[in-house]
Structure formats: structure tokens, C-alpha cells
Amino acid sequence: MCKPETMSEIVFKGRTGLHRVLICTGTGCVANGALDVYALFREQIRLQGIELVADFAELDNIARDSRALFISRSGCQGFCQMGPLVSVEPEGILYNKVQAADVKEIVEKTLLGGEVIERLLYVDPVTGQACRSQKDINFYKRQHRLVLAQCGDIDPESLAEYRAIGGYSAAEKAWVQMTPEQICQDILAAGLRGRGGGGFPTGRKWEMCRIQPGARKYIICNGDEGDPGAFMDRSVMEGNPHSVIEGMLIAARAIGADEGYVYVRAEYPLAVKRLRKACADALQAGILGDNVFNSGVRMRIQVMEGAGAFVCGEETALLASIEGERGMPRSKPPFPAQSGLWGRPTVINNVETLATVPLILRMGLERFRALGTNGSPGTKTFALTGHVANTGLIEVPFGVTLREIVMEIGGGITDKKGRIDPGGFKAVQIGGPSGGCLVKEHLDLKMDFDSLRSIGAMVGSGGLVCMNQSTCMVAVARYFMQFTQKESCGKCVLCREGTRQMLFLLDDIVEGRATPETLALLEELAGVVQKGSLCGLGKTAPNPVLSTLKYFPEEYLAHVRDKRCPAGECRQLARPEILAGQCKGCTLCGRKCPVKAITGEPRQVHVIDPGLCIRCGVCAQVCKFNAVTGFQG
């Protein structure tokens, strides 16, 4: 079978006159009002007397040449910043930032009149060209959407739509035609590596669990996605929950599990809701339950909500959490595959890993291996955020370069005001609090497990946070240290106390109390914390500090030696001053200063009292004459 069919191919097959309006209802678009847009579309369609189909199953009831409108809601289409996104098919027009007020016009002009509304098209910020459809937009053009393809295409709450595009056919094949050994071997041969951070070969993990004796085993989907700055797993769980369940079903067959859990982060209520509905629908359809695909074998899946602890993403802590305990990691071995949940053999896989599994079986090993690199086949989703023109959720084959991602898909780095700045690139933070930064010399590095590991970074969760020249790397390191310090579970002294001491040292640096010894001590402590921690959280906690120290030593030195923050971000080091030559005495700064540290008569030069000043920077922000200096480096 070649590429799985898309909804639009299915919907328009043999029909004339039909239109489909697809509204993205991912979290981003909903935050920008997509649900109102959806409701208004339905109302307008009714007012215009057009036949409305809102449910895929009803499509069969309308005449082949009916001028009906099929309206559907999809999961995240990835371009969250431009939401709400509305596409009109079969024309393939993509409208962005659609507001309630635009709906009537779209119905009248585009649906009835066949006209494109220029104003609602996406305009490429580099070329200034209006893009008519997804395939004209650079953000999408450079991507290869595999796992995410269905997310933005089908209604995540519809089992019928998922099945229409081939959903559950891979699970059925696995349960009906394949042996557990075969499944493990196929997944191993496909070269699938875990997307949860480590990149461990999934087939090998399954095989390890498969050969364990025992009638009861578990498959767990890790949907904890704790890395701040990452939201790929969220989009998959919300946008295509059935694909996660299908992956779990295949894994269950491979290892012999009869029960599964999806452990979802508490901040993702919509994912919880959609996964629960998907489980219920699958149960009703006989896909889950006591007789999976008429095999006589039982398989059930429960969705459990996490309770807000980053460390629970670590697999052994996650197990403790499901068991109702404090989520603290334990030492391995025994590995979960040998002794996991309630002491039984358990496989824990990441959301994206599991969602990839059915696609591999459907497209075949060779076609999967043809994507990506030899050591890292397939595609990877990344959350592209920070100071970059196009933020959002992307998917690319392993092995593309950082430059392609940031400059082409991302459209380039932006400055403080959000304008594209060709020379603005400073660094990209990859892998969140466990990761490190990639700098200019890495722009042509291939993004795959092994290349990243070779320079001491890692794919991690897939969060890519772009940073421009106005970002202080010391402050970034401090930010991550504060995060890991707060999230340490407290079991290991060196993780618990060591991260706290490292944070104090970083505080000293950004607040101007550091001495040259501070840096030496920081580095020494980093090594100790790495060695003396049990789990990945502690072991990797020093990474952001070490990598910023390596690539930006002069920035640390400026803070320590000159008590100066070159990026102008560390407020405590700012020496705000009003330039007599520029100040017009407009009094605005004096009125806005929250601590009344600025004095001066109208039309006279104002002065800041450094003793009172709390360095909040409000004066510099409000001054219309650029008279306040000292906040920039």
C-alpha cells in the first residue's frame, strides 16, 4: 500500500458539488476562537440554505452531486501562531487568523462564489507573497508529515474517520496475521527508536518483554511530556488519539499484554478527554475489550491523569505514580520489561513512538527505512518555538540540518520586536532541561540521534527553543537549573542539594556577586551532580550549564568579572541612567516608575536614584526619546 489516503481523497471520490470546510481545533486555534468560528459556519450554512453534513457517517446519505457542505474539526495542524486555520476543499485554500466576523464572507464569496479572499491568506514574511494553500507555505513545504499527517486531517473524536483512512488495519493485521515474534522483529528491522528521549530500539525493548514468562503484562504509553517547551505528544494525543491506541494494541500483541495505561500530563485535559472517548469508542466497536479482533484475547486500556511532577516522565517513577505512590525513580535493573507495574513485565513507550508503529506496519519497513538516516530511520516531530518567525509543530525526516529547520521551516530568527533578523541567530536549546544548546557551528549538523550525541547534545523530547542575540545564555542556564532544582524528587542528596547549590551559584553570577572561584565551583559541582544521581533528571541537570559554559564562556566572564550582562537581560546588573542630552523632561518615566525612583521637573532633565531603583526597566520601555540607557549590555 502506498501513502495512506487522506480524508479529502475519500470524501471527494465520485462526488461533484461537495465542499469541505476543515477547521483546526487544536489548543492554539481554540485559544484564538476556533470554536466560535465553527459554530458560526454552521449557522451561516443553514442561513444560506446549503445542505450541511457534520458527521462523516452521514455523507453516504446525500446525493453524489449534491451541493452540500461537509464541515469538520481537525486536531492541531501545527501552525498555531496563525490560528484559527480554516481550509476549504477541494480547492485547497487555506485561510489563517479567521475571526468570527470573516465567516459570512467566506461562505458567500468562497463557498458560493468560488472566489479567494486575499486578505485571509497567509503572507510569507520574507517574500511578501500571499500563499493560497498549505503546499505554497514554506513552513509546510519543507516538512515531511507522517505521524502528524492525520492529526490535521481527521476529526480526532471520530472512530469512523480514523477507520476510513486505514486506521486499525495495522492492529488487525498484527492480531490476525502476525505472530508476536514477527511483530518484534519487524519493528526492530524498521529501526524504530524511542522518541521519548533515549532513542532505545523499540523492537529490542519489546522482545525483552516478550520473552519474559508470566500471564499478565502491561503496555504503558508515556504521555507525561514534561519538558517545558515541547508539545508534540500533546498534539498527537489530542489530534489523533486512535493512533496511540492502535500502537498500544500492536505492542500489546507483541509482548502479550492484556492491559494498558496511558499516563497523561495533568496540564492536558483535552488529551485526557479525547483519549478516554477513543478508548470507549474502540471498546464499543470490539477493537478493545474481551475479544480483540475476534481473537478471544482480552485487552483493556485505561487513561490516567498525572498529578504534576516532571520526574514522573522517568519510567520507573511513572510506574510508582500509577501504583498510587510518590513518583520516585528506582534503580535499574530490574528493567520494567522484566519487572514493572505491580512487579509484572511492562513496556513503557513514548506517545510518538507508539503512534509511529501502525504507520510502519501499514507503509512497510522499506518505505519507513527510506526516510531519515541509516541509524535513525523515520521522521521526528519537533516543537519549534522562541525567537523564530514561524513557531509551531513540525515533522521532518531525521537527518535534516538545524539550518533547514530554523531558517527555512522556521523562516528565520526574529529580533525583540518580532521582525526577521538575518544576523540574529544565537543558539537553539534542544532537549529541554536535560539538553544543551546548539550554536552557529552546529547549523549544518544533521539532526538525528547519533549526530547529536556525538557533540554531547541529544534529541530529547524534541523541543527546539530558538534564541536571538537579546537572550542571555547565563540566564537560560539559570532558568533550567531552577526548573530541575524544583523538580528533583529528593531521593538522591547530590541531585537535591547539588542542584540547589548550583542554582545559588548561578544566582550569584546573574546578580553580580560572583568571583572567579564561582565558575570553577560551578563546574566542579556539575560533575559531582552528574555522577551522584540515580536517574536521568539528576544525571542531565548540569547539561544546560555545561553547554552554555562551553559555548559562551565570555558571556559568563562578563557577568563575573565586569558585572555586566552583554545581552542586557540580567536586571540586577543593569545600571540605568537618563541621558541628559536626550531627555525632554516629559515626566512619563517618573509617573510610570513603580518605586518613585525618578525625579525631575517638567521639561527638565530627570534623574534616577540608583538606591531606590529596582531595575524593572519600565522607564526604558516607556521613554519615547530613548533617553534611558543601561539596560542593554
Partner 1 sequence: MPTVMFRKFEKVCAILKKYNNDPGRLITILQEVQEEYRYLPEEVMAFVATSLGLSPAKVFGVASFYAHFALVPKGKYVIRLCDGTACHVKGSDGILQALYRKLGLDEKVPTTPDMLFTVETVACLGACGLAPVMVINEQVYGQMSPEKAVELVEDIRVREGSGNV
Q: Using the rule CB under 6 A, is 81 a contact of ligand FES?
A: no
Cα–Cα distance between 21 and 136 in angstroms, integer?
Answer: 19
Cell numbers at 241, concatenated: 488519539
Binding mask 462-491 for ligand SF4 (x = CB under 6 A): --------------------------xxxx
Q: Using the rule CB under 8 A, is 476 a contact of partner 1?
A: yes
Q: Which does 158 bind (CB under 5 to 8 A by kind): ligand FMN, partner 1, ligand FES, none?
A: none
Q: Is 78 left (phi over 0), alpha (psi -120 to 50) or beta?
A: left
Q: How many residues bind ligand FES (CB under 6 A)?
A: 2
Q: Which of residues 300-339 bind partner 1 (CB under 8 A)?
A: 304-310, 321, 323-327
Read out DSSP for 250-291?
HHHHHHT-SEEEEEE-TT-HHHHHHHHHHHHHHHHTTSSBSS
Binding mask 156-185 for ligand FES (x = CB under 6 A): ------------------------------
Read out DSSP for 124-173?
-TTT--EE-SGGG-HHHHT---STTTTTTTS-TT-HHHHHHTTTTHHHHH
Contact 32, 83 (CB under 8 A): yes
Window of 60-68, 100-108, 150-158, 298-306 that interacts with partner 1 by CB under 8 A: 298-306
Tell me the longest C-alpha to C-alpha distance in the chain: 88
- Give the shortest CB-200-to-ligand FMN separation in angstroms: 5
Cα–Cα distance between 413 and 422 in angstroms, integer?
Answer: 7
**Which stretches does DSSP call E strand in 497-590?**
577-578
Question: Cα–Cα–Cα angle for 58, 62, 68, nearest 5°?
Answer: 95
Of the candidate residues 75, 229, 340, 412, the single one contacting ligand FES (CB under 6 A): 229
Grouping H, G, I as helix, E, B as strand and the rest as coil, residue 399 is coil
Window of 331-339, 354-362, 474-482, 605-613 that interacts with partner 1 by CB under 8 A: 474-482
Q: Of 384, 94, 28, whose CA–CA distance to 239 is shortest?
A: 28
Residues making contact with ligand FMN (CB under 6 A): 194-198, 200, 202, 222, 224-226, 311, 313-315, 348-350, 353, 535-537
Q: Is the Cβ of residue 304 or residue 579 nearer to partner 1 in the bound state?
A: 304
Q: Is the Cβ of residue 84 or residue 432 nearer to ligand FMN in the bound state?
A: 432
Q: Which does 533 bind (CB under 5 to 8 A by kind): ligand FES, ligand SF4, ligand FMN, none?
A: ligand SF4
Q: Using the rule CB under 8 A, is 81 a contact of partner 1?
A: yes
Window of 51-59, 117-125, 293-301, 388-396 that interacts with partner 1 by CB under 8 A: 388-396
Grouping H, G, I as helix, E, B as strand and the rest as coil, residue 453 is helix
Q: Is 495 left (phi over 0), alpha (psi -120 to 50) or beta?
A: alpha
Window of 102-110, 411-419, 509-517, 531-539 that interacts with ligand SF4 by CB under 6 A: 531-539
Q: How far is CA 559 from CA 435, 513, 549, 596, in A?
A: 23, 9, 12, 28
- Give the shortest CB-229-to-ligand FES separation in angstroms: 5
Cα–Cα distance between 599 and 348 in angstroms, integer?
Answer: 62
| Residues binding ligand FES (CB under 6 A) | 228-229
| Residues binding partner 1 (CB under 8 A) | 27-28, 30-32, 79-81, 225-231, 234, 265-269, 304-310, 321, 323-327, 342, 383, 385-387, 391-393, 429, 432, 463, 465, 467, 471, 476, 479-480, 483, 487, 489, 594, 616
